Chains A and B, each alone.
Chain A
């Protein structure tokens, strides 16, 4: 089945140690998103790509970067994780019959 895959599902890193989260899709969608979701809160959009065109949200910290080397893959880089960056990180694509978003299962990041 076509899908959005996120690896790993759980990631532990140390305070200040760079970490990369991965997302891949088999849907061949042009648009890919990264969201941050903290406990009991709604997902918060960090940035998105339309093809290779990167669109950053105004309030996304500089500590968060992203790469999209091709249509299928998108990476979230956190350069110096702080304790406040512990969260679920959700990757999504957009397309399909209703132009809706398709979400991956998320990566839960713990910062020690």
Chain B
């Protein structure tokens, strides 16, 4: 599975959009991009995933570049409860079952 690179930390003002980047320049054509977050002392929680089209759900939006080498997770109106570590993972869904976590981005939402 391709490796991911994320900034180690970011701040965001409460109520503003949080844009979390992820670089996955070695991604293969059949690898999906998954995003999870982990609030302190809890298990990681699924947020969203995509292959090549942009995706949106009730939690976030996922923007994937046309060449698929990077993506951005967008939390449209960040709240204090969005303070967490956000992990970007790429994986093949039709072979193997492994999910390997990268180093993640620690997002702090500031009042």
| Contact in complex: A42, B103 (CB < 8 Å) | yes
Q: Mark B85-96, 1 if CB is under 8 A from A, else 0.
A: 001000001000
Q: Is the CB of B49 within 8 A of A90?
A: no
Interchain CB contact (< 8 A) of B46 among A35, A45, A102: A102
Asked if B100 contacts A45 (CB within 8 A), the reply is yes
- Are A45 and B98 within 8 A (Cβ)? yes
Smallest beta-carbon distance B40→chain A, Å: 11
A33→B45 CA distance, assembly (Å): 14
- In the complex, the chain A residue whose C-beta lies closest to that of B57 is A98
Instruction: Tell me which of A12-20, A63-71, A76-84, A103-111 binds B.
Output: A103-111
Residues on A lying within 8 angstroms of B by beta carbon are: 4, 31, 33, 35, 42-45, 48, 50, 55, 57, 88, 90, 92, 94, 98-106
Which residues of chain B have a CB within 8 Å of any CB of chain A?
Answer: 34, 36, 41-46, 49, 87, 93, 97-104
